[in-house]
Amino acid sequence: MHFCPYCHGYEVRDSALGVIGGEDRAFSLRQAQLIRQWSDDVVFFPHRIDLEAQEREQLVARGVRIVDGEVTRIVSDETGVRGVELAEGPMIRRAALFVGPRFVPSDELLTALGCELNDEGWVATDRTGRTSIDGVWAPGNVVDHTAQLINAAAAGSAAAIALNNHYLVAADVEKALNGHTEPAPAN
Ligand SMILES: Cc1cc2nc3c(=O)[nH]c(=O)nc-3n(C[C@H](O)[C@H](O)[C@H](O)COP(=O)(O)OP(=O)(O)OC[C@H]3O[C@@H](n4cnc5c(N)ncnc54)[C@H](O)[C@@H]3O)c2cc1C
């Protein structure tokens, strides 16, 4: 079972693909269109999504087959996904399946420290990853579920530079001053 067309689409391109409707309706519908970019053979299983006429038309226009009904089981074996079983009807054979995830940040440490949250309920940061708590930076997926590896690594780099600029340089100077006995020469 896959989640991301950018992470896994290429590997399953041009095969019989399926997209199962998840809790986030808009995400699921977009995901079906994204997966369609990887294969001409895509089935969308709305599952518990009651498609509106326009949504149905957009899928059909792109050649996405819609199979209504509640998904009851993903059939798989040691080679991977074999297909999808619905409450009624035969198994629909598929080589790979995608489903919309629910993004949940592992931010217990940050919330326990009292970091402020943004409107979406994720820890709020500035563009360097700086949180509302002095000295605490949070880069990557813990604050941004859209970050791919390269973005998360770049955010980590920006946070490290900001930390060094804001704290570590000053700490070096303070430490040096504490052990410094001679006054600075006057100009
Ligand atoms: C199934 C899947 C496939 C993916 N494929 C791709 C891909 O092909 N290409 C791509 O670019 N991106 C891919 N991604 C996204 C990629 O994994 C992320 O962009 C990246 O891992 C984010 O890095 P991060 O350091 O922010 O978070 P993470 O990699 O999640 O690292 C956070 C770490 O912190 C640890 N941690 C959490 N809480 C605590 C705590 N309280 N104390 C100590 N440690 C803690 C966690 O255990 C984890 O090891 C994929 C993601 C998933 C889920």
CATH of 108-178, one of 3.40.50.720, 3.90.230.10, 3.50.50.60, 3.90.79.10: 3.50.50.60
pLDDT at 78: 94
Angle at 150 between CA 145 and CA 155, to 5 degrees: 70
pLDDT at 2: 92
Mutate to test the pocket of ligand 1, among 106, 107, 144, 151 (most ligand atoms within 8 A of CB): 106
pLDDT at 186: 73
pLDDT at 185: 72
Residue with the nearest Cα to atom 49 of ligand 1? 106
Distance, C-alpha 10 to centroid of its chain: 17
Q: Where are the domains of the chain?
A: 5-99, 108-178
Q: Specify the pairing of strand 65-66 against strand 71-77.
A: unpaired
User: End-to-end alpha-carbon separation of the chain, Å?
Assistant: 70
pLDDT at 1: 87
Query: At a CB cut-off of 8 Å and minimum separation 6, what does 133 contact?
Result: 110, 113, 114, 115
Residues paired with residue 74 on neighbouring β-strands, in sequence order: 84
Residue with the nearest Cα to atom 21 of ligand 1? 149
Looking at the CA of residue 147, tell me the nearest atom of ligand 1: 19
CB neighbourhood size of 147 (10 A):
17
Residues paired with residue 123 on neighbouring β-strands, in sequence order: 117
Please report, as a single letter, which amino acid is at residue 22: G
How do the pLDDT tens digits run along the chain, 187 residues long? 899 999 999 999 999 999 999 989 999 999 999 999 999 999 999 999 999 999 999 999 999 999 999 999 999 999 999 999 999 989 999 999 999 888 999 999 999 999 999 999 999 999 999 999 999 999 999 999 999 999 999 999 999 999 999 889 999 999 999 987 777 677 6
> Is the minimum distance from the CB of 148 to ligand 1 under 6 angstroms?
yes
Tell me the torsion sign for CA atoms 11, 13, 17, 22.
positive
3 state SS of 69: coil
Looking at the chain, list the stretches that DSSP marks H as alpha helix, in order from N- to C-terminal side: 5-8, 25-36, 53-61, 108-113, 149-163, 169-178
pLDDT at 180: 78
pLDDT at 84: 97
pLDDT tens column, 75-106 = 999 999 999 999 998 999 999 999 988 899 99
Q: Which CATH superfamily is domain 5-99 in?
A: FAD/NAD(P)-binding domain (3.50.50.60)
Q: Do domains 5-99 and 108-178 have the same CATH topology?
A: yes
Residue 17 in contact with residue 95, Cβ under 8 Å? yes
Contacts 24+ apart (CB under 8 A), 67-71: 67/43, 67/92, 69/45, 71/20, 71/45, 71/47
pLDDT at 51: 96
